[in-house]
Structure 1
Amino acid sequence: MRWNLDTLIGVLVGLTGVGLITAGLLWKGRAVRPFAAGRARSVARREYARALQRASDQVIAAARRSAGEGEPAIVTVAAVLRVTREQYGYDGVDRQHAAAALRGRFEHWRCAADCVTDAYG
């Protein structure tokens, strides 16, 4: 059998592909750290803030739905903490972060007219 350049390149590409597939099967899910740790931290911070905002919006909407006719909707920081833990999986949410998110969404949705909150206390 005579080896020419095309056959040699084909064999090398094939062996490289088999090696990469084998490495992928062996090391699947074993990434120790992200390639860009700073970027991963900034994404985690944005997701945390977004989860707090969404939880605040959900609590405000639920309080408005459950309030009776002429009654103010009562929105608490504890409810935001509960929704953030149950819906988004953040166990260690700081109460001040939840209160700040609730204040921001409270003002965004102009809730002072029909809601009461303990986020300012």
Structure 2
Amino acid sequence: MRPSTAALLSLPVGLLVLVGCASDPEFTEVRIVSTTWNGWDPDYEPTTTTSTLAPAEGEETVVGCGVTITVVGVEHDRALLRSDEALAPVGDTGGIDLRDTQDEVEVAMGEVVEMSTATMDGGCGFELSVG
């Protein structure tokens, strides 16, 4: 018994639908918490702001210190974000690594990635998450 033409033609369409569903994000927003910091003024009062983006490629916002964050990739449980300037990762002890700056970072559900402007005397820290 030979399969019908309609059945054969519907197979690729069905596969496309399944593949499309597999890459839909499990999260509804990308969250960026920006906090200003100052390393030399003991009386400095930091300012904290929260920005959110839809989990869609091309979405962007300007956050603390004038840094632009853009969503460049989305998978079901993570997002790839790009900044318009190189940011330094924040280490376990709170210091920043000025030798390891990067302008792209991947953020997975359940984690908070901490980055900072690559300066030593003052700037902004960023907590990046998806949820």
In proportion to residue count, which structure has more strand? Answer: 2
TM-score (norm 1): 0.24
Which structure has the bigger radius of gyration? 1
In proportion to residue count, which structure has more helix? Answer: 1
TM-score (norm 2): 0.23
